[in-house]
Structure 1
Amino acid sequence: MTEPLIIGAMVRTLGAYPSGWRHPGAHRDPSADHAVLRRIAEEGEDAGLDYLFFGDWLATGPDLEFRDPYLLARIDPVSAVLFLAGLTSRIGLIATVNTTYADPYTTARSLASLDVLSGGRAGVNLVTGAEPRAAGNHGRDAHADNEGRYDRAEEFVTALRRLWDSWSEDAWVADAQRGVLIDPEGLRPADVRGDHVRVDGPLNVARPPQGQIPIVHAGTSPRSRHLAATEADLALIAAPTLADAIATRGTLRDIAAEAGRSPDDVKVIAPVLPVVAESDAEAHRIVERLLSLVPLAEGHQRDRTAFPPNRTVEAVADALGVAADDPLRAASFDAPVTAQEAARLGSAGEALIARVARIAGLGVGGDHPVTWRHLVAAHAVPAAFVVGDAPAIADHFETWRDEGAADGFNVLSAFQPAQFEAFTRLAAPELRRRGLLGRDGGTLRDRLRITSHVDA
């Protein structure tokens, strides 16, 4: 019998689509994140998801309001998973740590503590950072280059594993009659002496229940893929198409094999942004609403600080190669796209219109016409939506599994909490019925079926 997929939720309280926070009823107040996090955790655990995943970003600025509003103000990921550890009992809890700026001893200690407090449900996503403003927030003049960041990341992983292995499994004796608390031979130093990381150890936290806490990594550079394939238990990929995912998974498995690791030890996880409803038509209406709520360059928006320059009809026309003197460049956002105008947009425009038709059920002409607003929004804020009722969402998961594109998925929600609840209450039961969801295991390692790096 085929093993169920690994299915977790990538938690973004303000929603994973930039206009999601504007959707009616959506959560939009970061100071009230505790309430929505509690709700997400309860839903995810009841649905049988394998983990909740919290990303991170070590800076903020006005540009994020339009590009990625969920990054503007967010709970520290380690704090978030510690908060949820006491509110849940089964679901895994994965926090992101930036190895460029974090201290390995502090990181190992906080995650080992989480693992002890949660009964073996901790995981860590290690990143090297892509935000240059983070340097100034950590007392540095500039963000380190890619090679330097990954040199440090590799040493960071070594330090974590040695610190988590400070205590052998039988080191804690606790023999009250003999007065023997520990076996000193079972307490080991880390003794890491690298060019970027130096750690003595041992760790002053009990051995994590999982022994070695699962490590997650994502990235697209050659160094990033090498780290993911050789060290990570979960490798997160960014793959807009099925073919891209198949190729990326194959590359990661090849790198693992070349390094002497079993390719099956690398679990490849793809992102998915499902918009779920009782019917395909209702799901299309949700996407149409999301597109219509994307802020475009009109009214006061045009004068806002750091407003994106690509949210105009002219910007779309430029991208599609429309002639400079074509009058459609002056089209109103809310004017329907006519057949004559669509014909002047070329093959790229045809593909854009087809994408809007697929995700929002809109077309040129007919009862549900596509407007320039829809085209500008879909072009400026692209998203790999999977749209439809529960069987449609399950079909996507099943196809990617059967084609060898992924070992599991990180589920994003366009807005919270309604879309996450639509996934857990509509799609999750269908996934379970098909045997795609429902792994067992008392710890996160057990659920993920991790066998590598147990003894670092």
Structure 2
Amino acid sequence: MTGASAHGGSAAGTPTTEPLIVGAMVRTLGAYPSGWRHPGAHSDPQADAAILRRVARLGEEAGLDYLFFGDWLATGPDLEFRDPYLLARIDPMSAVLYLAGITERIGLIATVNTTYADPYATARAAASLDVLTGGRAGINLVTGAEPRAAANHGRDVHADNADRYDRAEEFVRALRLLWESWDDDAWIADASAGVLIDPDGLRPAAFAGEHVRVEGPLNVARPPQGHLPIVHAGTSSRSRALAATEADLALIAAPDLASAVEARAVLRDLAEASGRDPGALKVIVPVLPMAAETDAAAREIVDRLLLLVPIDDGGPHGGRTAFPVNRSLGAFLDAAEIAADDPVRRASVDDGVPAGVAARFAEPAERTLRLVRERTGRTLGGERAVTWRHLIAAHAVPAAFVVGAGGAIADHFEHWRDAGAADGFNVLSAFQPAQFEAFTQLAVPELRRRGLVGRDGATLRDRLGVGAPRRARVPVG
């Protein structure tokens, strides 16, 4: 979505619902593969501390609800081109603990992989973070999809989907039981009587499942939130079931508005079927805003990012084993269903795309062309022509850019909220720190004017509006 409002008069109207949940998904090396190459962009993981401090300050000043840190338990040369931000990154729990002491209001959510993590150590670290921040901690539970992670944790193979989710479900129950080790009034500290605790208010978890076993009690004070908000993302039926029954925030990645509306409805129906209030499950979608002072300036940034994507253009990248096979003119023309003997296959990647050839594109390639034209302002022919390089990059590295000045980005947020597609957004930045700064300074004021951001709450749980903590289910025998 670019340019002027696509949402009519509601842009200036009074919102009919509460503000959206808006957090930042922090990737210090940027969320778009060529972002680190943009002039002035952060590109040195050893200097991540400075970027984390700046992002935290900007997010807190903007009134965002949380900073979210994902995770990946392996690395390799293939990630240089596919997801550079995964090559070398700060452990998420370390990142949120680092930021705990230099922030005051914003929530801090760290990712833990339940396939490999220890539930007692996780419950202890998470509860400690909640105590240290006065109730600003959250935890994102994942099962992992990286086969290389298995060897990094002393295993021969990565567990299959069923085993991973069996363990994840037990992991959540163990966490909840450990967080309930202390009653609210168990800590007495009566100096005159010499009584520190009520021993009846301290209980073991005594959980024994097929995959997880933990005795407890937890040797950390009761978390201020009781239970930290739990986040989960995934697309499989088991993942949806876990999100619907146990999560407070469900992260979905929907390719379009209709898909998001459907996914949110399915999750809320599953939550209700499990006995929950469906309104207590908040569905969050990712967004990659490309913010600038003007729509034209935002389109120029997208244009540059596409031109900076490494492609197989006869340079040094094409011969590397880890280089993606889909970043070539031939791969794009295959997707466009252009004949193998068509003369256009001998074109230079920096040639303009002929209108006559574009007219023969199959739907996937035609859609890529349409998005490139919308997001960069380029045309077929003329001084700023769409080149093959643009199309190769946009097709090989798709991204749901929302491009424009603050009004265009606010339109997108408002439209998705009003359509029932999302309760909130995880904001990604193509490169740091300039793009996150642009979002907070150019888009957030307009979002705030429309009542789309600005939630209240003493704790992260309160701020998210996810209701009281769910009690742990009775442990299995």
Counterpart in the other structure of 1:152: 167
Q: Over residues 318-374 of structure 1, what are the superposed CA-to-partner deviations in whole Å (9 max), with x where a residue is unaligned?
A: 112111100111211110001122123233332221111111111211332100000
Counterpart in the other structure of 1:282: 297
Shift of 1:104: 0.1
Counterpart in the other structure of 1:136: 151
* Residue type of the alignment partner of 2:350: D
Shift of 1:426: 0.5
Gaps of 5+ in 2: 1-15, 473-477
Residue from 188, 212, 220 that aligns with 1:197: 212
Give me the whole-angstrom Cα distance separating, in 1, the residues matched to 2:365 and 2:209: 52
Structure 1 range deviating more: 438-447 or 340-349 = 340-349
Counterpart in the other structure of 1:266: 281
Residue 357 (1) aligns with residue 370 (2): no
C-alpha RMSD of the superposition: 0.8
Write the mapping of 1:72-91 to structure 2, written as runs, cut at 5 A.
72-91=87-106
Residue from 403, 407, 412 that aligns with 1:396: 412
Give me the whole-angstrom Cα distance separating, in 1, the residues matched to 2:119 and 2:347: 55
Shift of 1:454: 4.3
Give me the whole-angstrom Cα distance separating, in 2, the residues matched to 1:347 and 1:128: 35
Shift of 1:305: 3.1
Counterpart in the other structure of 1:453: 469
Residue from 211, 214, 217 that aligns with 2:232: 217
Quote the sequence identity (%).
72
Q: Once superposed, which parts of structure 1, at least 4 consecutive aligned residues long, lie more than 6 Å away? A: none
Counterpart in the other structure of 2:80: 65
Give me the whole-angstrom Cα distance separating, in 2, the residues matched to 1:116 and 1:453: 16
Structure 1 range deviating more: 85-94 or 292-301 = 292-301
Number of corresponding residues? 456
* Residue type of the alignment partner of 1:153: A
Shift of 1:447: 0.3
Residue from 435, 445, 449 that aligns with 1:433: 449
Q: Over residues 361-390 of structure 1, what are the superposed CA-to-partner deviations in whole Å (9 max), with x where a residue is unaligned?
A: 112113321000000000000001000010
Whether the 8 Å CA contact 1:52–1:92 is kept in 2: the answer is: yes
SS in 2 for 1:269: strand
Q: Over residues 177-202 of structure 1, what are the superposed CA-to-partner deviations in whole Å (9 max), with x where a residue is unaligned?
A: 00000000000110111000000000
Q: Over residues 213-260 of structure 1, what are the superposed CA-to-partner deviations in whole Å (9 max), with x where a residue is unaligned?
A: 000000000000000011000000001100010000011011111111
* Residue type of the alignment partner of 2:412: H
Residue 344 (1) aligns with residue 360 (2): yes
Residue 48 (1) aligns with residue 63 (2): yes
Counterpart in the other structure of 1:307: 323
Shift of 1:128: 0.1
Whether the 8 Å CA contact 1:62–1:305 is kept in 2: the answer is: no
Give me the whole-angstrom Cα distance separating, in 2, the residues matched to 1:87 and 1:286: 31
* Residue type of the alignment partner of 1:355: L
Write the mapping of 1:158-169 to structure 2, written as runs, cut at 5 A.
158-169=173-184
Give me the whole-angstrom Cα distance separating, in 1, the residues matched to 2:357 and 2:93: 51
Give me the whole-angstrom Cα distance separating, in 2, the residues matched to 1:357 and 1:452: 47
Residue from 306, 329, 344 that aligns with 1:328: 344
Residue from 333, 344, 350 that aligns with 1:317: 333
Shift of 1:304: 1.9
Give me the whole-angstrom Cα distance separating, in 2, the residues matched to 1:350 and 1:270: 26
Q: TM-score, normalised by structure 2?
A: 0.95
* Residue type of the alignment partner of 1:400: W
Counterpart in the other structure of 1:124: 139
Counterpart in the other structure of 1:375: 391
Residue from 302, 308, 327 that aligns with 1:293: 308
Residue 22 (1) aligns with residue 51 (2): no
Q: Over residues 145-165 of structure 1, what are the superposed CA-to-partner deviations in whole Å (9 max), with x where a residue is unaligned?
A: 000000000000000001011
Give me the whole-angstrom Cα distance separating, in 2, the residues matched to 1:20 and 1:295: 11
Q: TM-score, normalised by structure 1?
A: 0.99
Counterpart in the other structure of 1:109: 124
Give me the whole-angstrom Cα distance separating, in 1, the residues matched to 2:395 and 2:201: 58
SS in 1 for 2:421: coil
SS in 1 for 2:24: strand
Give me the whole-angstrom Cα distance separating, in 2, the residues matched to 1:240 and 1:361: 22
* Residue type of the alignment partner of 1:233: D
SS in 2 for 1:302: coil
Q: Over residues 381-439 of structure 1, what are the superposed CA-to-partner deviations in whole Å (9 max), with x where a residue is unaligned?
A: 00010000100000000000000000000000000000000000000011000000000
* Residue type of the alignment partner of 2:376: A
* Residue type of the alignment partner of 1:256: A
Give me the whole-angstrom Cα distance separating, in 2, the residues matched to 1:34 and 1:190: 37
* Residue type of the alignment partner of 2:378: L
Q: Over residues 296-324 of structure 1, what are the superposed CA-to-partner deviations in whole Å (9 max), with x where a residue is unaligned?
A: 11311112231001111000011121111
Counterpart in the other structure of 2:4: none
Whether the 8 Å CA contact 1:211–1:454 is kept in 2: the answer is: no
SS in 2 for 1:303: coil
